Amino acid sequence: MNCNESLSLMHEYLDGDLAGPEAAELKKHLLVCASCRTALKQFERTEALVRSMPRMNAPDDMTDRIMSALPKPKRRSTWTHWIRRHPAASVASVFLLVMLGSFMSLWNDDKDLMVKGNDLQNIVIQGDYVYVPAGQTVHGNLLVQNGHIQVDGNVDGNLVVIDGSYNLASTAHIAGKIVPVDRAISWFWYKVNEWISLAAG
């Protein structure tokens, strides 16, 4: 046994936890090692000194005084606390806000006339006016954005008017629905539904 091992065993010996072969090994080492015997005597004197000291009782209000002297914990904002507890929802919210902002800017920037459909040869475009003449049929859906449409003939599908106006003559016939989209939020939901229908189809 070396001196380092004997030092760790001395603490167990003083606590009364050392017995058996380890106690015998420590006693053998102490017989041959003067420095370890000196260290053990110092440990025993220190322990005796600590035990001889008068026992002091803490005042009854000591705990309260210590707790009141501690600095108050910083109050966390409920908003930042919620963000830390729900990181995925926070990221999704920020993503939706950014997307909504980009849609709003697209809505405000896009002021040019746009006409979209599968069958556009039977329509007439003059400036920002779109005409479906009487006796003519547009097959499929017809979308007009940032313009005015006058329907005298037939639309064999839905008529979607985004940020514009429409007028139907008494001879007009729309086979599907007329969908006016005149607000940015409505346009956003229209685009979302369009993407969903494209993904599903």
Task: Tell me whether residue 64 is exposed, middle or buried, using C-beta atoms within 10 angstroms of its C-beta: 0 to 12, 13 to 18, 19 or more.
Answer: exposed
Residue 193: the pLDDT is: 74
pTM of the complete model: 0.42
For 161, phi then psi, to 5°, come to -120, 115
Residue 76: the pLDDT is: 62
Residue 106: the pLDDT is: 62
Residue 173: the pLDDT is: 92
Q: Which of 183, 188, 181, 185 is nearest to 166 (CA)?
A: 181
Q: What is the CA radius of gyration of the chain?
A: 44
Cα 182 to the chain's mean position, in Å?
33
Residue 150: the pLDDT is: 94
- Mark the ranges of the chain whose per-residue pLDDT is less than 50: none
- Given a contact cutoff of 8 angstroms between Cβ atoms, the answer to whether 121 and 141 are in contact is no
Specify the DSSP class assigned to residue 177.
-
CA distances, 103 to each of 16, 60, 100, 182 (Å): 78, 67, 5, 14
Residue 141: the pLDDT is: 92
Per-residue pLDDT of 166-187, as tens digits, reads 999 999 999 999 988 876 556 6
Q: Which helix (H) or strand (E) is 101 found in, with range?
A: helix 87-109
Residue 136: the pLDDT is: 92
Residue 166: the pLDDT is: 93
Residue 186: the pLDDT is: 64
Residue 5: the pLDDT is: 84
d(CA 10, CA 23): 9
Specify the DSSP class assigned to residue 160.
E
Per-residue pLDDT of 10-40, as tens digits, reads 888 888 888 888 888 888 888 999 998 998 8
Task: Tell me whether residue 17 is exposed, middle or buried, using C-beta atoms within 10 angstroms of its C-beta: 0 to 12, 13 to 18, 19 or more.
Answer: exposed
